[in-house]
Amino acid sequence: MRIGICPGSFDPVTNGHIDIFERGSKLVDRLIVAVFENPTKKPLFSMAEREAMLHETTRHIANIEVVSFGGLLNQYAIERGATIIIRGLRALTDFEYEFQRALLMKKVEPTIETVFIMASTQHSYISSTGIRELACFGGKLEGLVPSYVEGELKLKFKDKYKA
C-alpha cells in the first residue's frame, strides 16, 4: 500500500490546498493530510479547528485521513508507513524553499520521496496568509476557500462581516 503525507499548517485550508489533496490522492492508496503545529507561527485557528475544517472540506475524497502531529515529519512518516511526501507549489519561491526541504528529508530519510504538485492556475495566487489578511479586513472570500471555511473565517472576524 502506497501511503503519502501532505503536511502543512492549513491555517486556514484554501481551495488551493483542496486541489492539491484531490490530485495527490490519485497518486497514493492513502493520503494523510497532516496538520502540524509550527512553533514559530501564531495560528489564527487552533489545531482542533484546523482539523475540523479539513475533515469537513475533504469528505468527498475517499482515501484521505486527516490527523495532527508534532515533531519531525520524517519520524512521523516512518511511524505511519508513508514513503511519499506531497507538497504543493505555487511559485518559484515555493520551489526554492521546498526543494531545500526535500533534499534535507532525503538526507535524513532516504526511503522517503518528495513529490511536488504544481498549483492549478486558478489557485496559484491563493495563500493562507493572504486569506487571513483578507478576512481580517472583511474582504471577499468567495471562491478562495471552501464555503465551510468561509463561514469559520467570518465567525473569527464577525465584527468585519456584519450583515
Q: Which residues are catalytic?
A: 17, 41, 90, 128
- 10 among the known binding-site residues? yes
- 23 among the known binding-site residues? no
Burial 16-26, CB ≥16 within 10 A → b, else e: bbbbbbbebbe
C-alpha cell at 59: 469528505
- 156 among the known binding-site residues? no
- 8 among the known binding-site residues? no
Sheet with 30-36: strands ordered across: 64-69, 30-36, 3-8, 84-89, 113-118
- 5 among the known binding-site residues? no
Q: Which residues are annotated as a binding site for substrate?
A: 9, 41, 73, 87
Q: Which residues are annotated as a binding site for ATP?
A: 9-10, 17, 88-90, 98, 123-129
